[in-house]
Amino acid sequence: MTMFDKIRSAFKKTADAIVSSISEKELGEKEIEEVLNDLMNELLEYDVAFESAEQVINAIRSGLIKVRAPRFGDKTAVVNSAIYEAMLDLLRDIPDMDLIQDMQTKGKRPYIMMYLGPNGYGKTTTIAKVTKYLMDRRFSVVWAAADTFRAGAIEQLEGHSEKLGVKVIKHQYGADPAAVVYDAVQHAQSKRIDVVMIDTAGRMHTDKNLMEEIRKIHKVATPDLSVFVADAMMGNEALEIARTYVKYVPINALIMTKVDAYPKGGSVLTLLMELKRPILFMGTGQGYDDLQKFDKSSFIKQLLGMEGMQ
Ligand SMILES: Nc1nc2c(ncn2[C@@H]2O[C@H](COP(=O)(O)OP(=O)(O)O)[C@@H](O)[C@H]2O)c(=O)[nH]1
Ligand SMILES: [Mg+2]
């Protein structure tokens, strides 16, 4: 099982069933409803939230009703492309975002990125991956060890920094994270470093004091991009947590981690649809290069098993 296998098989089953029913006769509403009913159940099983699943079903229904199957020729392609267009249309309000393009548009040096989310979701690992991505493209990066709370957090960051050759700005454990951020930004300014990445302490959304603290760090940091790091395997829990975070700090983008270990696949679609923030990257493993740039069109093709198509 690899990423998205389950949800992909659900979409494939839908397309196959539609194709076989149009080869027998005109595509009737009754057949469509039966097939979509099955799809709905599978989407729910694979972590798509109820409201999102309903929207998907409605979009695909309106797409399929317009399908005129060719008498000869490739019915599968026609059906797949109707589903693809319906899905793309469904996501039209959610922009794609390219990190480097955003850096260039904002034109700020340093460009400040703040990473947010609960413990274990993959913030620190993702910071290392995105840093490698930027360094491979000739940008310089410095890290702010603003997780001064969890034992071992600074050492974990330093472990990555030695391998990648990145400087870490740190204080003692228990120090004010906002002060660490301030120092890191000063450092970047004086050394003309392109990007500051802020590793914040993981916190549960229910901890009001820690959530207030994140608001304060955000105020001092004035990040150009605050990223919520969402563990794909956590499904609806990640969605609820992100919804609370949004009440405290602006979240500009998402990174979905651990999609490699998550065959169900539905939470990526759910977070995208429910939070309406662009997904910058997907984490696809524990290595530094296990990072996939996200765009809606390739994502939908992945879900529909259409990767090879133009
Ligand atoms: N398989 C897989 N594991 C990941 C991915 N991203 C992070 N991890 C693992 O998740 C665990 C927690 O990551 P960490 O960066 O420490 O999370 P943090 O507490 O949010 O900083 C570590 O064991 C990482 O190796 C990913 O994309 N795929
Ligand atoms: Mg961490």
61-85 b/e (C-beta count within 10 Å ≥ 16 → b): bebbeebebeeeeebeebbbbbbbe
pLDDT at 24: 60
Q: What CATH code is assigned to 99-294?
A: 3.40.50.300
pLDDT at 19: 86
Residue ranges with strand state E in the chain: 111-116, 141-146, 167-169, 195-200, 225-231, 253-257, 279-283, 291-293
Distance 199 CA to ligand 1 centre (A): 13
Mean pLDDT, consecutive 10-residue segments, the chain of 310 residues? 87 91 70 92 96 97 83 83 96 97 97 97 98 98 95 96 98 96 98 98 89 95 98 94 96 98 95 97 98 96 84
pLDDT at 310: 62
pLDDT at 76: 87
- Can you tell me which atom of ligand 1 is nearest the CA of 153? 21
Q: Which CATH class is domain 5-90?
A: mainly alpha
Mutate to test the pocket of ligand 1, among 116, 257, 284, 294 (most ligand atoms within 8 A of CB): 257
pLDDT at 203: 86
- Can you tell me which atom of ligand 1 is nearest the CA of 128? 15
Distance 35 CA to ligand 1 centre (A): 37
DSSP output for 124-182? HHHHHHHHHHHHHTT--EEEEEE--SSTTHHHHHHHHHHHHT-EEE---TTS-HHHHHH
pLDDT at 23: 63
Is-same-fold flag (5-90; 99-294)? no
Distance 122 CA to ligand 1 centre (A): 4
Closest residue by Cα to atom 22, ligand 1, is 122
- Can you tell me which atom of ligand 1 is nearest the CA of 282? 27
Closest residue by Cα to atom 5, ligand 1, is 258
Instruction: Report whether 171 contacts 118 (CB < 8 A).
Output: no
Q: Which ligand is nearest to the CA of 127?
A: 1
- Can you tell me which atom of ligand 1 is nearest the CA of 121? 20
Q: For the chain, what are the domain ranges?
A: 5-90, 99-294
pLDDT at 166: 98
**Ligand 1 pocket, Cβ-based, cut-off 6 angstroms:** 117, 119-125, 202, 257-258, 260-261, 283-286, 290
